[in-house]
Structure 1
Amino acid sequence: MDDNRTMAQLLEAPTKGYEDVIVVPEITADNFELKHGLLTLFQNKQFFGHDKEDPHAHIYYFNKITSTMKFPNVPSTSVKLMLFPFSLEGAARIWLEKEPPRPIQRWDNLVSKFINKFFPPSKTTNLRNKITRFQQRFDETFYEAWDRFNDLLRACPHHGFSELRSNSIHSKNALN
């Protein structure tokens, strides 16, 4: 194998491998830019990836903020893809940086990868079991139990129970 590069070329730092994980579709709108203040807004409420953090709440908050932004001729999903990395820090940022380059091109794919990472199936199973075995505590009022039950439902929005099923589980357990 002949390598005809000069010593200077051999010593140059590599430039490959720095591709972004998230690929934002090309934006053709004139004069489009994200202002620094907007980035700061997302950096003030970052998701770190701690066990006690709720990734569903993070996505909900993120969607709520981005839904208030309108840029002419710019799809909202493109804006979300651009801004999402600024909403992560710590273990969550490291997770995103370790993803293989260029796999995420759609907002729903990013949300799916994020939720699967920070809300694994085992956590879903655990919460679904708590929901199905829910009982009112002896020292708790009906309203306190109802709040606690709804907290479980909110903690696992993809619990898979229909509204009717959830209400019947609660009603049956509350009567016991």
Structure 2
Amino acid sequence: MRTRSQSRRRRQQQTLPVVENFDLEEPIVEQNVVPMADNRTMAQMLQAPIEGYEDAIVVPPINANNFELKQPLINLVQSNKFTGRQDPHNHLRFFNKVTSTFRHPEVPNTSIKLLLFPFSLDGEARDWLDKEPPRSILTWDDLVSKFINQYFPPSKTTYYRNEIITFYQKPNEIHQKKPW
């Protein structure tokens, strides 16, 4: 049977030594260890990453003096938010109509559209835009193409085209001449 002092001694031997005056700024160098390609200090490794939070949409620099998006324009865009369940073509028509009402002589209309488009999305559609790779949308045409392909893919177009092609008149349907 062990005495208390023997048990205490055994626990002290089993515990790890305490490292004092540990400097996070100084890299740790051990012998017989293959150096890693990452030469950051321990403090740098413990910091939260700051990259990767960029938006998917890249808005070209605007060099106009006194340019800002007015809140009424943002509110107008937000009055018809796209959630992913509506017709994307109708959403783009409405969005183009709204953004065409705002002009600034030194700012291209496409830059205004790129700035405002995220305000017109909500729910699933907002999640879609947030999941797009950072800096992957460089022009208004890029944005429209990705948006339409996401919410009205070519397979859907093919499906509807095939549905229209297979329309036929049933025997009991009579073609009537319209009065106009």
- Residue by residue over 1:36-79, the C-alpha shift from the partner in whole angstroms, topping out at 9 and shown as x without a partner, is 222121111100012xx100111111111111111121000000
Secondary structure of the residue aligned to 2:119 is helix
Equivalent of 1:96 in 121, 129, 135: 129
Instruction: Assess if the C-alpha contact under 8 Å between 2:76 and 2:98 holds in 1.
Output: no
Say whether the 8 Å CA contact 1:136–1:142 is kept in structure 2: no
Question: Which residue in the other structure is 2:28 paired with?
Answer: none
Structure-2 residue corresponding to 1:4:
41
Report 1:29-68 matches (<5 A). 29-50=64-85, 53-68=86-101
State how far apart, in whole Å, the 1-side matches of 2:90 and 2:176 are. Answer: 26
Bigger Rg over Cα: 2
| Unaligned ranges ≥5, structure 1 | 145-176
Cα deviation, 1:104-138, whole Å, max 9, x if unaligned, reads: 11101100000000001121011111222234675
CA gap 1:61/1:12 in 2 versus in 1, 3 angstroms:
same
Q: 1:85 aligns with which of 110, 118, 121?
A: 118
Give the aligned residue type for 2:41. Answer: N
Going from structure 1 to structure 2, the CA distance change for 1:10 and 1:35 (only over 3 Å counts) comes to same
Alignment partner, residue 17 of structure 1: 52
Choose between structure 1 and 2: higher helix proportion: 1
Q: Is the 8 A contact 2:56 2:132 kept in 1?
A: yes
Please provide the CA RMSD for this pair: 2.3
- TM-score normalized by the length of structure 1: 0.71
User: Is residue 133 of structure 1 aligned with residue 166 of structure 2?
Assistant: yes
Give secondary structure in 1 for the equivalent of 2:54: coil
Write the distance in 2 (CA, Å) between the matches of 1:41 and 1:60: 14
Partners in 2 of 1:140 and 1:96 — Cα distance?
Answer: 48
Which residue matches 1:74?
A: 107
Alignment check: 8 A CA contact 1:47 1:89 kept: yes
Structure 2, unaligned runs of 5 or more: 1-35
| TM-score using structure 2 length | 0.70
Return the letter of the residue paired with 2:47: E
Q: Percent identity?
A: 57
